[in-house]
Amino acid sequence: MTPTPQGLPESLGLHSQLLDLDPSETQEWLESLDQVVDHAGQNRARYLLLSILQRARDRRVGVANLRSTDYLNTIAPDAEPDFPGDEHLEQRIRAYNRWNAAVMVHRAQRPGVGVGGHISTYASAAALFEVGFNHFFRGHDAAGGGDQIYFQGHASPGIYARAFLEGRLTSDQLDGFRQEFSHSGAGGGLPSYPHPRLMPKFWEFPTVSMGLGPINAIYQARFNRYLHNRGLKDTSRQRVWAFLGDGEMDEPESLGAIGVAAREELDNLTFVVNCNLQRLDGPVRGNGKIIQELESYFSGAGWNVIKVIWGREWDSLLAADTDGALLNLMNTTPDGDFQTYKAESGAFVREQFFGRDPRTVAMVEHLSDNEIWNLKRGGHDYRKLYAAYRSATEHTGQPTVILAKTIKGWTLGSRFEGRNSTHQMKKLTLDDLRAFRDRLFLEIPDASLDAVKPPYFRPSEGSPELEYLQDRRRALGGYLPDRRVDCRPLELPPAAAYRIARRGSGRQEIATTMAFVRLLKELMKDPEIGHRFVPIIPDEARTFGLDSLFPSKKIYSPHGQNYLSVDRDQMLSYQEDIHGVLLHEGITEAGSAASWTAAGTSYATHGEPMIPLYIFYSMFGFQRTGDQLWAAADQMTRGFLLGATAGRTTLNGEGLQHQDGHSLLLASTNPACIAYDAAYSFELAHITADALRRMYGEPRAGEDQNVFYYLTLYNEPTPQPPEPPDVDIPGILAGMHRYSPAPAREGPTVQILAAGIAMPWALEAQRLLHTDWGILADVWSVTSWTQLRRDALATDDWNLAHPDQPPRIPYVTRRLSKSSGPVIAVSDWMRAVPDQIAPWVPGIWASLGTDGFGHSDTRSALRRHFGVDAQSIVVRALQQLAGSGELDSSVVDEAQRTYHLDTHRHDPQQ
């Protein structure tokens, strides 16, 4: 170290402000180190320092861990446990799976079908999965409940292949891979990837959108703890496994939540990263080392890291590496080279890898090229993997990541192994097939190696391999994946729970957000299901009034509250508790969406229906985490999404990035999402009651229970009217009800369709039309444009399919056909939201909306800017009447001038 001006060693920040209590002792230690370096060399010095660090760690001396270690297996050979299985039989089983997985994809590529699939990923991951299937993954029947396994999505052929060996899928079904409709054979086809919605008795966790598997697995493990800590279910024996790609780790979602897992000490979580060094196009880190990089990230975040880099063949070489020459090569060779070696030959590895140092050349002199070629990677060595999994499952206090080095396309032959194109290759030539069969030692005669339809291989029933495989799964609690839904309908809250919401707020002005929170508080008191509500909040509890739940429900924290809370004396103090109910996620919409998914699938995963309510700035929901919500739909999540601060003009002052005029449009694209845009508290009451009935009550024929609800909530306080005595509840649920009819008399009439916060504008327009222009108007509250559209689409489809029967009429058409006059729709959303129903609206249609970016200003200024305020509605209605000849067009001009709209016109989209 270079001395500083004061004569002290430069600290590199390691101990910059620590006092040296005994400088001469320090000096002695430093000199001893110098001596070792001078006389025994840097390698020896390094070894000694690492040993001292290890001892310091064992003795609990508070020194930071190294963030990366040598490019070696974490578990030393002499620390590996005995392997308890039958290695030979397991190797045979693996060979059958490898073959069937590849053949299945190959056959799906047959002429006339050509739907392909992925071969090389499973080929690299087979041992990673199989050591789990044979020794670790606990099925649903295991004592204490089973494990939850997130399989790498595009490795699905291998999972199907195993289910085939287990006798759960037929060869006919394998032939239906990626042909869900066109394959009419017994059992139909198989979806490409893990899609619970498409294969609901098999797949549990959708994973194929890269990055969502890792984050969802973390929050699943955390939710298991939550259930446990709240005393709802003993999940102490259940483990979450996530199998991930090394390329996949580039997704922000993959690494973005690893801190949560460490902070909450999720030792019920194991990540296994398949480090084949390749992604789709080429190397993951050609110039670097992905395993080392991931090691630093994970260990820096507080995970237990286990590297499985080298197979057992390397052990004796490393044992002979007295001066660290081999280690040096391992440490310094970039991944791009490691990839290339495995696409070449033993001679190439001798020359290009070992050949870089005369000492390593000598180390492998006694090995033939073939033997060098046979120096395997750790991720293909069953015993090394077993040791890693065992260590991970026994480790406490931290989640574990296993970084396993493999070869993409392993055993598929030189056209596949390590090639950049391997990810996209879907077919084997006859030569490939022959070589592959020989490599796997399969008893398939040459004659049956058909180039288009090579046979699947399944040993006879009763063979030692099948017996072994079945025994192992029996001992571990049954087959996986296996999605089961085993829960009874819930007893729903009585009508009384909704009384306050239906009564309105009297003269008090409250936003619908507050109205909903009040309703939620009532529902959470319900003795039957109150405890099942799981509010999920990314740091906006105070904005939405949910802080009122802090004292009674408390914020979940596995560590309780180990500090003196600053606001402990206040009514709504921030209270963390191990039994807390609220999931306060911090500022992470991605984490919240993952939590919501875990809670909303608890009815299946745990047989414990939970009712998650995730409340967020509506702008940061579908727009920011739309793909997660899509995956949640695949996983058949049930629950509530609450899009608070909805609308482009209602969130006071915030402007472009916050004001949401389009999330309802995005929500409409998710088929599992039922979206409502309620105006009033009483509407919310009926919608919520029906949502609970549908998702958690007795199933009804023809109604999918696997849906979730998106309710928009506004933050503008208005008086919440009481429910009208003759309220049209079916209308509220179907998507529209006539809230304020025109007085029963003759005269030009318009139909105003308004939604959410636009209702007060519409009612004001109704008044102005009448008082200023003598025009009548019916005002409808449209609670769901999307549900009206879906009904209309379904009706059209039915009519197309039943030409011989009287056509059915869509709900929206039916409701409006009895009313007279042009129709004008208005909402705080872009016009495409109401325009969803335009094709089915009888008569003249016009919509007003908030197209364009949001701006910062007062609500009234913004509404004028977008042309959606009461006066704008009036002018548009008059224009429609003029257009249909019911009014002179001069009235429109006059109205524009009266309301000063003539000077205000410009295109808000500019």
Residues that bind Mg ion (CB under 5 A): 245-247, 276, 278
Count of alpha carbons within 13 Å of 877, Cβ hemisphere only? 34
Q: Which stretch binds ligand TPP (CB under 6 A): 163-171, 203-211, 355-363, 892-900?
A: 203-211
Residue type for position 486: D
- Per partner kind, with CB cut-offs from 5 to 8 A, the member of ligand TPP, Mg ion, none near residue 43 is none
Nearer to ligand TPP, 97 or 512 (CB): 97
Nearest distance from C-beta of residue 249 to ligand TPP, angstroms: 7
Q: With CA atoms as reference, report the closest residue to 732 among 688, 696, 670, 673.
A: 688
Q: Are 463 and 96 in contact (CB under 8 A)?
A: no
Query: How many residues lie near ligand TPP (CB under 6 A)?
Result: 19
238, 274, 292, 625: which one binds ligand TPP (CB under 6 A): 274
280, 451, 485, 729: which one binds ligand TPP (CB under 6 A): 280
Nearest distance from C-beta of residue 420 to Mg ion, angstroms: 12
Residue type for position 367: L
Nearer to ligand TPP, 126 or 169 (CB): 126
Nearer to ligand TPP, 630 or 899 (CB): 630
Q: Which residues of 684-713 are buried (b: 16+ CB within 10 A; e: fewer)?
A: bbbbbbbbbbbbbbeeeeeeebbbbbbbbb
What is the CA 567 to chain-centroid distance, rounded? 35
DSSP state of 446: G
* Edge-to-edge strand list for the sheet holding 148-150: 148-150, 240-245, 269-275, 400-405, 304-308
Nearest distance from C-beta of residue 314 to ligand TPP, angstroms: 22
Nearest distance from C-beta of residue 274 to ligand TPP, angstroms: 5
Nearer to Mg ion, 126 or 165 (CB): 126
179, 276, 400, 557: which one binds ligand TPP (CB under 6 A): 276
- Per partner kind, with CB cut-offs from 5 to 8 A, the member of Mg ion, ligand TPP, none near residue 318 is none
Confirm whether residue 880 is marked as ligand binding. no
DSSP state of 538: S
408, 518, 532, 865: which one binds ligand TPP (CB under 6 A): 408
Q: With CA atoms as reference, report the closest residue to 215 among 172, 249, 192.
A: 249
Q: Are 609 and 487 in contact (CB under 8 A)?
A: yes
Radius of gyration of the chain (CA): 33
How far apart, in whole angstroms, are the C-alpha atoms of residue 464 and residue 132?
Answer: 19
Nearest distance from C-beta of residue 340 to ligand TPP, angstroms: 16
75, 101, 126, 210: which one binds ligand TPP (CB under 6 A): 210
Q: What is the three-class DSSP state of 614?
A: strand
Binding residues for ligand TPP restricted to 4-63, rule: CB under 6 A? none
Nearer to ligand TPP, 408 or 472 (CB): 408
Confirm whether residue 246 is marked as ligand binding. yes
Nearer to ligand TPP, 125 or 227 (CB): 125
Q: What is the three-class DSSP state of 749?
A: strand
**Can you read off the two tokens belonging to residue 74?**
């974490």
Residue nearest ligand TPP (C-beta atom): 245
Q: Are 643 and 623 in contact (CB under 8 A)?
A: no
DSSP state of 887: S
* 248 touches ligand TPP (CB under 6 A): yes
Q: What is the three-class DSSP state of 252?
A: helix
Q: 3-class secondary structure for 168-217?
A: CCCHHHHCCECCCCCCCCCCCCECCCCCCCCCCCCCCCCCCCCCHHHHHH
Q: Which stretch binds ligand TPP (CB under 6 A): 275-283, 297-305, 675-683, 822-830?
A: 275-283
Q: With CA atoms as reference, report the closest residue to 677 among 795, 788, 840, 551.
A: 788
- Per partner kind, with CB cut-offs from 5 to 8 A, the member of Mg ion, ligand TPP, none near residue 280 is ligand TPP
- 3-state helix, strand and coil shares in percent for the chain, rounded to the nearest 5: 45, 10, 45
Nearer to Mg ion, 124 or 597 (CB): 124
Length of the chain: 910
Omega prior to 760 cis, within 30 of 0? no
Residue type for position 712: T
- Per partner kind, with CB cut-offs from 5 to 8 A, the member of ligand TPP, Mg ion, none near residue 821 is none
- Per partner kind, with CB cut-offs from 5 to 8 A, the member of Mg ion, ligand TPP, none near residue 361 is none
All residues at 6 or more sequence positions from 350 whose CB lies less than 8 Å from its CB, including other chains: 361, 364, 369, 372
Nearer to ligand TPP, 385 or 874 (CB): 385
In this structure, the number of other CB atoms found within 10 A of the CB of residue 214 comes to 28
Nearest distance from C-beta of residue 440 to ligand TPP, angstroms: 20
All residues at 6 or more sequence positions from 857 whose CB lies less than 8 Å from its CB, including other chains: 653, 865
Nearest distance from C-beta of residue 194 to Mg ion, angstroms: 17
Binding residues for ligand TPP restricted to 152-191, rule: CB under 6 A? 154
- Per partner kind, with CB cut-offs from 5 to 8 A, the member of Mg ion, ligand TPP, none near residue 784 is none
* 278 touches ligand TPP (CB under 6 A): yes
* 279 touches ligand TPP (CB under 6 A): yes
247, 324, 346, 413: which one binds ligand TPP (CB under 6 A): 247
Q: Binding mask 217-246 vs ligand TPP (x if CB under 6 A, - otherwise)?
A: ----------------------------xx
- What are 535's strand-pairing partners? 613
**Can you read off the two tokens belonging to residue 737?**
């009800």
Nearest distance from C-beta of residue 678 to Mg ion, angstroms: 47
Nearer to ligand TPP, 251 or 585 (CB): 251
Long-range contacts of 411-419 (CB under 8 A, 24+ apart): 411/98, 411/123, 411/436, 411/439, 411/440, 412/102, 412/119, 412/120, 412/123, 412/436, 413/439, 414/343, 416/119, 416/120, 416/123, 417/342, 417/343, 418/278, 418/339, 418/340, 418/341, 418/342, 418/343, 419/343
Nearest distance from C-beta of residue 872 to ligand TPP, angstroms: 42
Nearer to ligand TPP, 423 or 815 (CB): 423
Nearer to ligand TPP, 252 or 551 (CB): 252
* 695 touches ligand TPP (CB under 6 A): no
Residue 330: its H or E element: helix 325-332
Nearer to Mg ion, 245 or 867 (CB): 245
Nearest distance from C-beta of residue 385 to Mg ion, angstroms: 17
Q: Binding mask 90-129 vs ligand TPP (x if CB under 6 A, - otherwise)?
A: -------------------------------x--x-----
How far apart, in Å, are the Cα atoms of 819 and each of 493, 655, 688, 769?
37, 38, 29, 17
Binding residues for ligand TPP restricted to 282-301, rule: CB under 6 A? 284
DSSP state of 167: T
43, 209, 820, 898: which one binds ligand TPP (CB under 6 A): 209
Nearest distance from C-beta of residue 401 to ligand TPP, angstroms: 15
Nearest distance from C-beta of residue 125 to Mg ion, angstroms: 9
Nearer to Mg ion, 418 or 639 (CB): 418
Nearest distance from C-beta of residue 775 to ligand TPP, angstroms: 53
Nearer to ligand TPP, 378 or 639 (CB): 378
- Per partner kind, with CB cut-offs from 5 to 8 A, the member of ligand TPP, Mg ion, none near residue 248 is ligand TPP
* 405 touches ligand TPP (CB under 6 A): no
Binding site members: 246, 276, 278
Residues comprising the binding site for Mg(2+)? 246, 276, 278
Query: Which residues make up the interface to ligand TPP (CB under 6 A)?
Result: 121, 124, 154, 208-211, 245-248, 274, 276, 278-280, 284, 408, 423
